Amino acid sequence: MAKTKKKFLSGGLGQLTIPVIAIVLLVIFNLIRDPSFFSVGISHNNDGNIVLAGNLISIINGASELAILAMGMTLVTAACGGQDISVGAAAAIAGSVFVKVLKSSPQISGGKVLLAFICACIVAMIFGSFNGTLVAIFNIQPMIATLILYTCGRSIAYWINGGATPTVSSPVINAIGSFIPGIPVPTPVLIVIAMAIVFKLLFKFTSLELFTQSVGINGSAARLNGINSTFIKLLSFIILGVCVAVAGSIGVSRLGLINHETLLLDVEMDTILAVAIGGNNLGGGKFKIGGSIIGAYVIQTLTITLYAMKVSSTDVKAYKAIVIILLVVIGSPVVKQKFGKFMSKFLENRSGKAVKGAA
Amino acid sequence: MQNEVLLQMRHIEKRFPGVLALNGVDFTLRKGEIHALMGENGAGKSTLIKVLTGVYQMDGGQITVEGESISIHSPQDAQNNGISTVYQEITLCPNLTVAENMFIGREDGAWIKHKTYEKRADEILNELGIPARSTQQLGDCSLAVQQMVAIARAVDMKCKVLILDEPTSSLDDKEVNMLFKLMRDLKAQGVGIIFVTHFLEQVYEVSDRITVLRNGELVGEYLTEDLPQVELVAKMIGKDLDELNNLGETEEKEVKQQEVFYEASGLSSSDAMPFDFSIRKGEVNGFTGLLGSGRSESVRAIFGADKVTGGNVRIKGKPVKITRPIDAMKNGIGYLAEDRKRDGIIAELSVRENIILALQVMNGLFKPISRSEQEAFADEYIKVLNIKTASRETPVGSLSGGNQQKVILARWLLTHPDYLILDEPTRGIDVGTKLEIQKLVLKLAEDGVSVTFISSEVEEMLRTCSRLIVMRDRHIVGELKGADLNQTQVMKTIAGGETKDGEN
Amino acid sequence: MKRFKAMAMAGVLALSLVLTACGSSGGSGSSGNSGSSGNAGTAASSSGELIKVGVVNNPPSESGYREANVNDMEAVFSEANGYELKTFYSLKNDEQLQAAQGFITEGVDYLLISAAETTGWDEVLTKAQEAGIKVFLFDRMIDVDESLYEAAVVSDMAKEGETAVQWLLDQKLDTYNVVHIQGAMGSDAQIGRTGALDAQFQAGTMNLVVQQTATWDEAEAKKIVESVINSGEDFNVIYAENDGMAKGAVAALDEAGITHGVNGKVIVMGFDCNSWALRELLAGSWNYDGQCSPFQAQIISDIIQGKRTIDSKIIINEEKGFDATTITQADIDTYGLGE
């Protein structure tokens, strides 16, 4: 038992140290600033449901789209050693398709929402495989390959709904974007949990994790071991496509409105940061989805903290940048190595003193 | 001059998580001597070198150069103290030119004077007889030339101490002689050379003194002329030599007339010229030839590692199509690639994951091997192949070269192949492990596995193979078996004295 | 800047739908020509002679506002209304100048200009005058002598804000605790809509609870309001500088169980007059929606056809502001943007 615990601490937590410390520091900072910051209250919403409310809920709820995108982005990063910068634009497309299908007839039933989501998924997967093809088959740098969709994605979204910002209102949509009657936890949070479970099961019941890591660490060796690295890379983009569709649909459902210009605007940078804060190597290889999810919550906690401090949201970006630079630098191999050395020296000195003391 | 101490390392200690890699090792290098550093894999040679060159920080001990105590915290420090290195694995940048590689990281000012450097580089290359141009991309050169450029770079740095870590493992005889000549020249100029190699003959040919390490500890320092080869090996592996001799004697190698397992006619790939080849069940054969003769390219074609462009392949008489590695694997073929670092290990993954990789690929994406099974497999092969690792979860990249090779062997053995292709499995590996691998090959053959064994040490191939296919200039120029299986005949065939049957 | 503007007016992507809504029952998807503005043009068309109008404008791709503006022009000056329309769209002033020159040579009757830059137009406008062509400016002013044009129909963003703030003052609340959600900082719409409210904060007639920019992003607006709610601060007005952000704010209110709209605790104000936003007003869920009108064509057409006299050369386009208590379905059909 003790041995597994030690292994967990040294191996398992190693990668997660920075994001966990970051989130703990943010929590402590907030508790000092305002002891009631994280208090969760129970209230009734305007539909008469009992719901949980408070900053903690805002953080967890608000980070949902980011967390979901970060999961998919982690996989792309691991397999391709690069990032997809078109997730925001692709989400706008998926969201537009979602709304387009919903508005095809006046009635919105649960089945129709499902159909709309499936359509959004298919479209997002098609765009994902477009990106994936450029990366996996034509060997274009992921950032360059996805720059294309990044640039034209929102124009495509604009075209889907004829440039309008159509709204949809339906109890079903409201239940997806806000609360399901009778369940006090925001639905997007439940969707994040569901997605995390899906990924967990995906890794448990397939060898995707092993193959993806192999392709990311050493593509040549992976190929000589019979792994179809083209397929693995393509697959990672398609899976990201599903994440994009989910995130886009949540984004639309929150407000019952698709604004192709602002839906998940600039989310790609936050997504990549979440992956980086999560301790994943942006150059590909080994990865931990959990790290990226924590990374997403770190970013959201930071945003909400700054809002709560009434920092002007124009300045929020600058403050965010400072904190994130700190996190990424602290998480960099150079600093980690130096810190590791310092710690081992420190421990050595301590144990040395202890021995002396005993003598 | 020979007795003037140049470099002294005292009580050097280096710890890695779970391993004491160096335990109070002493090493002394005198001016104008070639000093061989010997030891099995994991003995601590590479670690000692890396401490000396500032790649690792030592945890204890003292280093003095010409009587002055120095501290080395980075490769730059080492270089400033006149210590230059050429590593076992090439550590240059393949996408830079030869000249850039020779001068990178040591420009005098902020401005890189390309023309000056290229001129200087060409001078050195000429002087050393290295067949490369300064403006060539390094990656376009053969492995051997890349290695020699690395040496040229070190030589040009006006070093007092030159460390050659396995410099000859990718050089052919002519190139080795060229290097030895250069080493002797440098020695005459008073440079102290630390020579790390697995080739015993080379040690005796060129070195003055030998220091032997075993399991991170110093065994002793000897004058080369006072230490017979057999004794050296005994000191290195720390056991008596019966086993060694036994293996040499098992040269019965009766050629059993088993059925043909694999048969190719006119097989060609993007890198290999068309050739015919067949191997019987339980047979061990070898491909030999100089570097660039096409021996690796041919076996890669068998495995579908490069783009297959033509030819017919039969397995157990049935026609099959092998165009990708996975096809070969599904037909029971395994392939241990020549370049372990590039084509073999997945460095950051654990020993366990590396071992089960090929089997998992054959099972497919949707049939993962359970964690407990994986662990059982890993434990089994760590034990069977005597892999030295802190645990099965240790990243394979942190293992020594020989143990990495064993992990890859385990990977293929786990797939229970009918035909195993081993391309340079013993390259850069200590004597003990070499023997283990050779024994394993023979045992596999006994169990009915066909094996193709490639090694640049002809001696080793003669010991294991019942048939040798000789290649020259990308063509098969001869096939040797029975009485012809001797060093002279092999050399003759390689050199082109006479051609035997099987020529295309 | 261009991007900001595009976002600012994203809600105004009206296409021709708006114009069909103007005249008839509001069917969707018709192109500019088929939507008849009913009240114009019969006189001209009966004479059989079409009035030649040349329009120099910025391209519709510039912003949603521009798209609505261009479509409005094309619909009002249609053949059915008795016009022969020639158009030229460019963001570049010199190209616009050349096009205007071309229209003069072709001999149009009226020249309508929304210039890319305010300068450089003297010569062309003088030539137009010499040729007897009447010039109207719309949307943007040009830096020339008043005598060179008939009239200028322009919008006043600041006035739009003032109208909204005046409406708010008219509500005669005991205290005004305002959550102010701004658009992308520096955009025309943001500056215009912020100015009047800032004046109230400075005068002390209203209390500023929080002033944040959500850069036209609905989701960001929701987060900002959530954060205010979580901090427990009291507020009774949400002044969001576009409809989308107002919707985001309302979503946060709904989740927190805070009532809003007519008879609600919090007054909700938006801008742009998207049809869906006006329907929120009609339902009493919001209180106010203001608009910066992209529709200048009808005014110019009325002047051309003598239905309207020019009192002052500069005509400030009427900025609409709708109150939830007085809005009707007819208003939505007439002024709402989009479906």
| C165 has pLDDT over 60 | yes
| Nearest Cβ partner for A163 among C67, C212, C248 | C67
Q: Where are the domains of chain B?
A: 5-247, 259-331+418-427+445-504, 333-416
- Distance set, CA A99 to CA A86, A111, A114, A259 (Å): 20, 14, 12, 10
| A8 has pLDDT over 50 | no
Query: Which two structure tokens, joined as six digits, stand for C176?
Result: 């005004």
| C1 has pLDDT over 60 | no
Model-level ipTM above the cut of 0.90:
no
Whether CATH 3.30.360.10 fits B5-247 = no
State whether C230 and A308 contact (CB < 8 Å). yes
State whether A45 and C215 contact (CB < 8 Å). no
State whether A58 and C212 contact (CB < 8 Å). no
Residues of chain B contacting A, Cβ within 8 Å: 17, 57, 303, 305, 324-326, 328-329, 335, 337, 342-349, 353, 357-358, 360-369, 393, 411
Mean pLDDT value across chain C: 83
Q: What is the pLDDT of residue B89?
A: 62
* CB contact C231 to A (< 8 Å): yes
Contacts of B390 in chain A (CB under 8 A): none
| A9 has pLDDT over 50 | no
Helix (H, G, I), strand (E, B) or coil at B73: coil
| A6 has pLDDT over 70 | no
Bigger pLDDT: B103 vs C23: B103
Please tell me the distance in Å from B414's CA to the nearest CA on chain A: 13
Contact B151, B167 (CB under 8 A): yes
Contacts of A11 in chain B (CB under 8 A): 393
Rg of chain A over all Cα atoms, to the nearest angstrom: 22
**pLDDT tens readout for residues C250-273:** 999 999 999 999 999 999 999 988
| A180 has pLDDT over 70 | yes
Residues of chain A contacting C, Cβ within 8 Å: 43-47, 51, 53-55, 58, 62, 158, 162-167, 177-179, 186, 251, 254-257, 259-265, 303-304, 307-308, 310, 312-314
- Chain A residue at shortest CA distance from C227: A308
**pLDDT tens readout for residues B355-396:** 999 999 999 999 999 999 999 999 999 999 989 899 999 999
Confidence of residue C22 (pLDDT cuts 50, 70, 90): very low
Please tell me the distance in Å from B326's CA to the nearest CA on chain A: 4
Over range B273-279, report the average pLDDT. 93
| B252 has pLDDT over 90 | no
Mean pLDDT value across chain B: 84
- Chain A residue at shortest CA distance from B59: A345
| B328 has pLDDT over 70 | yes
Question: Which of B92-101, B239-248, B392-401 comes out lowest in average pLDDT?
Answer: B239-248
Bigger pLDDT: C292 vs C173: C173
Q: CB-based burial of residue A170 (10 Å sphere; 0-12 exposed, 13-18 middle, 19+ buried)?
A: middle
Q: What is the pLDDT of residue C19?
A: 35
State whether C217 and A51 contact (CB < 8 Å). no
As a whole-number percent, the residues of chain C with pLDDT over 70 amount to 84
* CB contact C208 to A (< 8 Å): no
Over range C126-147, report the average pLDDT. 90
Q: What is the pLDDT of residue C45?
A: 43
Helix (H, G, I), strand (E, B) or coil at A123: helix
| C43 has pLDDT over 70 | no
| B403 has pLDDT over 80 | yes
Over range B192-205, report the average pLDDT. 85
Contacts of B353 in chain A (CB under 8 A): 210, 213
Over range C95-123, report the average pLDDT. 91
- Chain A residue at shortest CA distance from B57: A341
pTM score of the predicted model: 0.76
Please tell me the distance in Å from B307's CA to the nearest CA on chain A: 12
Candidates 3.10.310.40, 3.40.720.10, 3.40.50.300, 1.20.970.10; CATH matching B259-331+418-427+445-504 = 3.40.50.300
Confidence of residue C33 (pLDDT cuts 50, 70, 90): very low
Contact B449, B418 (CB under 8 A): yes
Bigger pLDDT: B174 vs A80: A80
CATH superfamily of B333-416: P-loop containing nucleotide triphosphate hydrolases (3.40.50.300)
Chain A interface disruption, residue of C216, C230, C285, C332, most A CBs within 10 A: C230
Question: Which of B30-44, B83-97, B208-222, C199-213 comes out lowest in average pLDDT?
Answer: B83-97
Domains B5-247 and B259-331+418-427+445-504 share a fold: yes
Place of tokens 């000195």: A349
Contact call for C and B: 3+ CB–CB distances under 8 Å? no
- Chain C residue at shortest CA distance from A262: C217
Contact B119, B85 (CB under 8 A): no
Mean pLDDT value across chain A: 88
Q: What is the pLDDT of residue A352?
A: 56
**pLDDT tens readout for residues B104-116:** 766 554 456 777 8
State whether A205 and B411 contact (CB < 8 Å). no
Domains of chain C in start order, with CATH, are 2-155+293-308 (3.40.50.2300), 157-290 (3.40.50.2300)
Q: What is the pLDDT of residue B18?
A: 67
| B147 has pLDDT over 60 | yes
Contacts of C263 in chain A (CB under 8 A): none
Place of tokens 């929590």: A27
Over range A102-106, report the average pLDDT. 89
Interface A:C, Cβ pairs < 8 A: 121
State whether B326 and A341 contact (CB < 8 Å). no
Contact B287, B452 (CB under 8 A): yes
Please tell me the distance in Å from C249's CA to the nearest CA on chain A: 9
Bigger pLDDT: B132 vs B372: B372
| B298 has pLDDT over 90 | yes
Q: What is the pLDDT of residue C270?
A: 95
Comparing CA positions, the residue from A243, A274, A66 lying closest to residue C223 is A66
Q: Sign (positive/negative) of CA torsion B391, B397, B399, B401?
A: positive
Contacts of A167 in chain C (CB under 8 A): 247, 276
State whether A165 and C220 contact (CB < 8 Å). no
Query: Which two structure tokens, joined as six digits, stand for C14?
Result: 């009206």
State whether B335 and A213 contact (CB < 8 Å). no
Contacts of B344 in chain A (CB under 8 A): 221, 224
Bigger pLDDT: C15 vs B12: B12
Confidence of residue B249 (pLDDT cuts 50, 70, 90): very low
Confidence of residue B170 (pLDDT cuts 50, 70, 90): low
Highest mean predicted confidence (pLDDT) among A197-206, B102-111, C214-223: A197-206
Helix (H, G, I), strand (E, B) or coil at C182: strand
Contacts of A208 in chain B (CB under 8 A): 365
Contacts of A259 in chain C (CB under 8 A): 10-11, 216-218, 244
In this structure, the dihedral spanned by the alpha carbons of residues A184, A186, A189 and A195, taken in order and rounded to 10 degrees, is 90
State whether A226 and B346 contact (CB < 8 Å). no
Residue B13: CB partners within 8 Å, gap ≥ 6? Answer: B20, B22, B23, B24, B25, B58, B59, B60, B61
Helix (H, G, I), strand (E, B) or coil at C311: coil
For residue C274, the 8-state DSSP code is B
Helix (H, G, I), strand (E, B) or coil at C56: strand
Lateral strand order in the sheet of B284-288: B333-336, B419-423, B450-454, B284-288, B467-472, B475-481
Contacts of A303 in chain C (CB under 8 A): 223
| B262 has pLDDT over 70 | yes
Contacts of A251 in chain C (CB under 8 A): 219
Chain A interface disruption, residue of B57, B350, B357, most A CBs within 10 A: B357
Chain centre to alpha carbon of residue B373: 32
| C13 has pLDDT over 60 | no
Q: What is the pLDDT of residue B431?
A: 78
Helix (H, G, I), strand (E, B) or coil at B460: helix
Question: Which of A254-263, B182-191, C132-141, C322-331 comes out lowest in average pLDDT?
Answer: B182-191
Q: What is the pLDDT of residue B88?
A: 59
Helix (H) / strand (E) containing A354: helix A333-358
What are the backbone dihedrals phi and psi of residue B392, each rounded to the nearest 5 degrees, phi first? -75, -15
Contacts of C207 in chain A (CB under 8 A): none
Please tell me the distance in Å from A225's CA to the nearest CA on chain B: 6
| Nearest Cβ partner for A226 among B57, B325, B345 | B325
**pLDDT tens readout for residues A221-240:** 999 999 999 999 999 999 99
